[in-house]
Structure 1
Amino acid sequence: MTVQAQIFRFALVGAVNTGTYYGCYLLLLTWLPYIAAHVVAFALSMTGSFFLNAYFTYRTRPTWRKFLLFPLTNAANFVITTGGVYLLVDVGGHSDRWSPLVAAAAAVPVTFIVSRVIMLRPERGAPGSTPESLTESVASK
């Protein structure tokens, strides 16, 4: 698969992930302060993003190793979006409903690059890192 195809698929997954995040965020915003709602929604959507990117974007099987490294793909995204939400809401006085969407746009290129490196990295053959290990573990629950 070409890099352009991966970028296109990554964008589609990103759109689904953003919708998932934003729906969770709005739901949680009714009970939690906006930063707490952001953090919880981010964690939930990141799990879904891992599986969508593994199967759809990069066409690779999920492994425990990739699953544990995947949050690194979102570390920069998390810092950029959290900082952006704070700056937009508390400093800029913008709506806490729309600010997460604006902040997320700035993080997309960095997230793609780091995600591609982690998801397409060859396995080292460590115990528990076989392609089937995570899929079987998740499927059995």
Structure 2
Amino acid sequence: MLEIWKQPLLRFIIVGVLNTLHYYLLYLFFIHLLGLNYLVAHILAFLISMIGSFFMNSYFTYQTKPTLKKFFQFPLTYVVNISVSTSSAYFFVSILNWDKDISPLLASLVAIPFTFIVSKKILKTQNDI
């Protein structure tokens, strides 16, 4: 059982679940309590949760020290993620008429593998090995 915790992918999934919950609660707050448009709420919640993701992935997933350089590189990991999740959310809500409360959550699942690969390249540098 202890050996499984050594797997970065498992730790990445745990961080992803926590980060997705954080994102989703922010998203619901923005659309239901602040009355923001669902796409604006999605982008704001995404950006805020990305900061938490940086620290959780640095310390827990890859067990590396966060640096200012990595902090500024980390958003690059989300370029594909936000592009795919935003276009998927738009497609689900505006084209398929799916529920706007659930669609962004489903859309975010599509980009997870890409985010893992790129974040590992940025956060786990040669000096950390």
For normalisation by structure 2, the TM-score amounts to 0.91
Aligned residues: 122
- The equivalent of 1:11 in structure 2 is 13
Return 5+ residue gaps in structure 1 as ranges.
Answer: 124-141
**Which ranges of 4 or more aligned residues in structure 1 deviate by more than 6 Å?**
none
1:33 to 24, 32, 37: 37
How far the C-alpha of 1:66 sits from its partner, in A, is 0.3
Q: Which moved more, 1:30-39 or 1:47-56?
A: 30-39
Alpha-carbon distance in structure 2 between the residues aligned to 1:59 and 1:40: 27
- The equivalent of 1:133 in structure 2 is none
How far the C-alpha of 1:122 sits from its partner, in A, is 3.4
Return 5+ residue gaps in structure 2 as ranges.
Answer: none
Task: Look up the SS of the partner of 1:96 in the other structure.
Answer: coil
Alpha-carbon distance in structure 1 between the residues aligned to 2:113 and 2:48: 21
How far the C-alpha of 1:101 sits from its partner, in A, is 1.2
- The equivalent of 2:58 in structure 1 is 54
Cα offsets for 1:84-109 (capped at 9, x unmatched)? 00000001110100001111111010
Q: Larger helix proportion, structure 1 or 2?
A: 2
Alpha-carbon distance in structure 2 between the residues aligned to 1:121 and 1:89: 39
For normalisation by structure 1, the TM-score amounts to 0.83
- The equivalent of 2:95 in structure 1 is 91
How far the C-alpha of 1:57 sits from its partner, in A, is 0.2
Alpha-carbon distance in structure 2 between the residues aligned to 1:26 and 1:18: 12
Cα offsets for 1:20-71 (capped at 9, x unmatched)? 0000000001220000000100001000000000000000000000000000
Opposite residue 18 of structure 1, the aligned amino acid is T
Of all paired residues, the percent bearing the same amino acid is: 43
Alpha-carbon distance in structure 1 between the residues aligned to 2:110 and 2:38: 19
CA RMSD of aligned residues (A): 1.5
- The equivalent of 1:80 in structure 2 is 84
Alpha-carbon distance in structure 1 between the residues aligned to 2:36 and 2:109: 24
